[in-house]
Amino acid sequence: MANTQKKIKKLKIAIPKGRVLKDSLDLLRKSGFIQHPDYDYDSRRLIFDYEEDDVSLLIVKPWDVPTFVEYGAADAGISGKDVLLEKPKNVYEPLDLRIGRCRIVAAAGEDLIKRGLPPSAASVVAGNIFTGNSIINDDIHNWDDIHITNMNDSDKKLFFSKIKDNVKKLYHSKANLRVATKYVRIARDFFNKKGVPNVQIIKLYGNVELAPVAGLCDFIVDLVSTGETLRQNNLMPIEDVAVVSSRLIVNRASLKINPEGIASLIDNLKRQVEKNADI
């Protein structure tokens, strides 16, 4: 940490409760902004303003972080890309912190996906349920990673092209396709870009995986990390909707009022992110 940091007005940073809290604290600690161990933040307190730290912390719910930053209650924050996509705010997003990585996927029941496929194709599709990979992945470049007996790269590409055609048919198989999700905006944008008409988005606040099992919907759009919850409910990820990680966001007024402090925050976090990537 540069010595000039002590002369800069202390920044307020909103960080999310839950699964990325520990990684967020670790990143801020290694970047030199906070000095205290995790257990010092393990309480019901929501504001931490230790004298020896270079920033004060607001611990808030993940979906509230962008709001705190947009309205200036915090100078900066750490927010998941899923939250920023679902509820866009007027904030500056200078840095991918590369923590809290996961995916938003479109998923459906295994039986629905395999319906109409020849037995050989159905067995390969079923294999994906054990890997957590989406059936359609436009980022597949190394076909050697796709293990199908007695099939060369050209045949693999043709095979997955047929799988993709089958999935497109599923998207258009009903006059009123029902999709359950807590990501209403993201889901609607995804299916609109696919040209899928008459999609009915059903807003749920939890247990999204239960919806297709109970017959509430045809597809879900949800956040997955390992894919274990999908597997336990016989659901399969069809297609990646978005890749998610935590981002540094900054209040636009703070960027002008305290440019040195914000620049120091961005630069030090960026250096630490790059160090973490090299490990």
Position with higher pLDDT, 236 vs 137? 236
The CATH fold assigned to 3-99+245-278 is D-Maltodextrin-Binding Protein; domain 2 (3.40.190)
In the predicted model, is pLDDT for residue 105 greater than 90?
yes
In the predicted model, is pLDDT for residue 186 greater than 90?
yes
The DSSP output letter for 136 is B
pLDDT band at 150 (very low <50, low <70, confident <90, very high): low
The DSSP output letter for 63 is G
pLDDT band at 180 (very low <50, low <70, confident <90, very high): very high
Same fold: 3-99+245-278 with 102-244: yes
**Model confidence pLDDT, tens digit, residues 204-236:** 998 999 999 999 998 999 999 888 888 888 888
Q: Work out the number of other CB atoms within 10 angstroms of the CB of residue 96.
A: 14
**Model confidence pLDDT, tens digit, residues 15-57:** 999 989 999 999 999 999 999 888 888 778 899 999 999 999 9
Stretch among 142-146, 188-192, 245-249 having the lowest mean pLDDT: 142-146
Between the CA of residue 139 and those of 85, 97, 135, what are the distances in Å? 21, 22, 11
Of the chain, the percentage scoring pLDDT greater than 90 comes to 57
CA 3 to chain centre: 35
**Model confidence pLDDT, tens digit, residues 56-97:** 999 999 999 999 999 999 999 999 999 999 999 999 999 999
**pTM confidence score:** 0.85
Cross-sheet strand order for the sheet of 219-224:
199-203, 177-181, 219-224, 102-109, 235-244
Q: Across residues 125-137, what is the average pLDDT?
A: 62
The string of DSSP codes covering 80-120 is EHHHHHHS--S-EEEEE---S-EEEEEEEEHHHHHTT--HH
Between the CA of residue 53 and those of 11, 49, 74, 249, what are the distances in Å? 10, 7, 16, 20
The CATH fold assigned to 102-244 is D-Maltodextrin-Binding Protein; domain 2 (3.40.190)
pLDDT at 124 (0 to 100): 61
In the predicted model, is pLDDT for residue 131 greater than 90?
no
Query: Which residues, 6 or more positions from 237, have their beta carbon under 8 angstroms from its beta carbon?
Result: 103, 105, 106, 107, 128, 132, 133, 134, 135, 224, 227, 230
pLDDT band at 169 (very low <50, low <70, confident <90, very high): confident
In the predicted model, is pLDDT for residue 195 greater than 50?
yes
Residue 77 β-bridge partners: 14, 249
Position with higher pLDDT, 133 vs 234? 234
Where exactly are the structural domains of the chain? 3-99+245-278, 102-244
Q: Answer whether 53's CB lies under 8 Å from 47's CB.
A: no
Of all helices (H) and strands (E), which one includes residue 250? Answer: strand 246-250
3-state secondary structure of 205: coil
pLDDT at 117 (0 to 100): 62
pLDDT at 85 (0 to 100): 97
pLDDT at 163 (0 to 100): 73
Q: Answer whether 89's CB lies under 8 Å from 69's CB.
A: yes
pLDDT at 264 (0 to 100): 95
